[in-house]
Structure 1
Amino acid sequence: MDIHSIIMKVLVVFALALASASAGLLPQVLPVHPRDLPAVPSIEGRITNGQTASEGQFPYQVGLSFGSSSGSWWCGGSIIDNSWVLTAAHCTSGASDVTIYYGATVRTSAKLSQTVSNSDFVQHASYNSIILRNDISLIKTPAVSFTAAINKINLPAISSSYSTYEGQTAVASGYGKTSDASNSVASHLQYADLTVISNKACENTFGTLIVTPRVICVGTYNGVSTCNGDSGGPLAADGVQIGVVSFGSSAGCEIGSPAGFTRTTYFLDWIAEKTGISY
């Protein structure tokens, strides 16, 4: 995203906020999708200040290399069924195809890869890139056989729909940047343990226009956070996926602002409707 696009996004967010004239609506920090943070090359780095995953530790993690007529970008995703991958709408948006890398603890050594066209993308019809609303997508894939290295993650039960998860420790995994200054390609999957914070606390940074019941946030202490390349990846608590990497601070990944995720429980009905998967 160039500086003009960022300025336009700022102006649109401000205009929306001023139009509603509600206290707490205006972001104190401009939110941005990790995909839109400056990154060279496009498949750059990993989670900032995280730990290196061991073989088979995150069998549900996939790497996603999206292509389009205007370039390519890297995101993460999760296996939720033999034929479905869950990711973010800002990852699928504008893409013509995606190559999915399964079982790749070492990013360049996937156990299996598949290329899928955008006709098999199920992007949320109400995704809004300006206010980062409904940032969720599904990818229909050829069926894969589960192994020790390739397996699904469970979605929350419908009975968990009203759980906030506040105070719980959750793990984010991905191939995103190791630091804001990073310019090297990551070779290994990274992960970080993060604490879920209340939406009220998250609103103090990003405002109520951005932080809605569709969102779940984590604190990013000591520079540990999601970053470029992590977009669309999973946030898991007790083996259940509770979030999809959605946004962070435009000022960088290490500054201590919360990181925002699409709240999985909010979209359980939508996922069930599109895939037939239910819990």
Structure 2
Amino acid sequence: MKVFVVLVLALASASAGLLPQTAPVHPRDRISVPSINGRITNGKDAVAGQFPYQVGLSFSSSKGSWWCGGSIIGNEWVVTAAHCTDGATSVTINYGATVRTSPQFTQKVSSSDFIQHESYLSLTVRNDISLIKTPSVSFSANVNKIALPAISSSYSTYTGKTAVASGWGLTSDSATAVASHLQYTDLTVIENSVCQQTFGSLIVTSRVICVATPKGTSTCQGDSGGPLNLDGTLIGITSFGSADGCEAGAPAAFTRVTSYVDWIKANSGI
């Protein structure tokens, strides 16, 4: 019996690092609640052409609609989060927009042209990535692709690097609608071991990349699927944050693109 008790305690201790201290939540699924501090997320307004690879994605389904972000990676391909495409029947892609309601042009794509990762698992936020095959677009100053990481950078952690996240997501926990103007902010990549202290190692695997969110600066509802850009390279796709809110100061997490360059190439040729 004593051995059994010791074993149980050892398992409980080991699992403590596996399980989240704070529940992870996709920005798409976050419910707006009043913010105690009433702060905005400290984002800045983007100017025209600053993020030509950024697209706005308006998804539709029989159960409603939702807004996500995405990144152009080729003339016929957009990459976003699997939790954005999950359950959708179609998407309207907004290209070249700074003001969300004034894109350069739009395309409507049905779910038959979605390639959602075959091993996406919402419970543990695994493989949160999808591709969208689009009609071919011509690139311009306001509509262009972002580079994917080189295969040789597959082992880069990016810890300590400052990357740029962008999107039309909520600008505070108390906001009730996504932003009208494209926002961006600089965020510093942190070690996964630090992120695991909040979300556990079951959630934060090597295929996840996390950033610190000082002063309430973070991704929020509506930013799902959007880019994390480091020096012109897409290193992250907005995946999840803390259920405590965008301004809670907990890390924000992204799908680590270096872990999926082979998958992207196999499915898109890019």
| Fold conserved between structures, TM > 0.5 | yes
User: Is 1:125 equivalent to 2:118 in the alignment?
Assistant: yes
Contact 1:48 1:176 in 2 (8 A): no
Match of 2:67 in 1: 74
Counterpart of 2:64, as a letter, is G
User: Is 1:254 equivalent to 2:254 in the alignment?
Assistant: no
Greater CA drift, 92-101 or 176-185: 176-185
Match of 1:102 in 2: 95
Structure 2 spans left out of the alignment, 5+ residues: 1-10, 34-39
Q: Which of 86, 109, 114 is equivalent to 2:107? A: 114
SS for the counterpart of 1:138 is strand
2:14 & 2:162 partners in 1: Cα distance?
A: 35
Contact 1:219 1:258 in 2 (8 A): yes
Match of 2:53 in 1: 60
Match of 2:79 in 1: 86
Counterpart of 2:68, as a letter, is C
1:85 & 1:96 partners in 2: Cα distance?
A: 16
Contact 2:171 2:178 in 1 (8 A): no
Greater CA drift, 175-184 or 193-202: 175-184
Match of 1:241 in 2: 234
Match of 2:36 in 1: none
Match of 2:135 in 1: 142
Match of 1:13 in 2: none
1:131 & 1:209 partners in 2: Cα distance?
A: 7
Match of 1:212 in 2: 205
Match of 1:11 in 2: none
SS for the counterpart of 1:22 is helix
1:120 & 1:210 partners in 2: Cα distance?
A: 28
User: Is 1:174 equivalent to 2:128 in the alignment?
Assistant: no
**Matched length:** 254
Contact 2:32 2:174 in 1 (8 A): no
2:145 & 2:178 partners in 1: Cα distance?
A: 26
Q: Which of 154, 158, 163 is equivalent to 2:151? A: 158
Match of 2:193 in 1: 200
SS for the counterpart of 1:273 is helix
2:28 & 2:105 partners in 1: Cα distance?
A: 24
- Can you list the C-alpha shifts for 1:228-261, whole angstroms capped at 9, x where unaligned? 0000000010110000000000010001000000
2:219 & 2:144 partners in 1: Cα distance?
A: 23
Structure 1 spans left out of the alignment, 5+ residues: 1-17, 41-46
The offset of 1:185, in angstroms, is 4.2
Q: Which of 25, 39, 58 is equivalent to 1:32? A: 25
1:181 & 1:162 partners in 2: Cα distance?
A: 38
Contact 1:106 1:188 in 2 (8 A): yes
The offset of 1:154, in angstroms, is 0.1
1:196 & 1:258 partners in 2: Cα distance?
A: 9
The offset of 1:186, in angstroms, is 1.8
Contact 2:213 2:250 in 1 (8 A): yes
Match of 2:214 in 1: 221
Q: Which runs of 4 or more aligned residues in structure 1 lie more than 4 Å from their structure 2 counterparts after TM superposition? A: 18-21
Counterpart of 1:253, as a letter, is C
2:177 & 2:68 partners in 1: Cα distance?
A: 16
The offset of 1:149, in angstroms, is 0.2
2:184 & 2:56 partners in 1: Cα distance?
A: 14
2:198 & 2:62 partners in 1: Cα distance?
A: 35
User: Is 1:271 equivalent to 2:261 in the alignment?
Assistant: no
**Greater C-alpha radius of gyration:** 2
The offset of 1:39, in angstroms, is 4.6
- Can you list the C-alpha shifts for 1:31-81, whole angstroms capped at 9, x where unaligned? 0100110159xxxxxx82200000100000000000000000000000000
SS for the counterpart of 2:15 is coil
Match of 1:14 in 2: none
The offset of 1:20, in angstroms, is 10
Counterpart of 2:262, as a letter, is D
Match of 2:4 in 1: none
1:119 & 1:246 partners in 2: Cα distance?
A: 23
Counterpart of 1:183, as a letter, is T
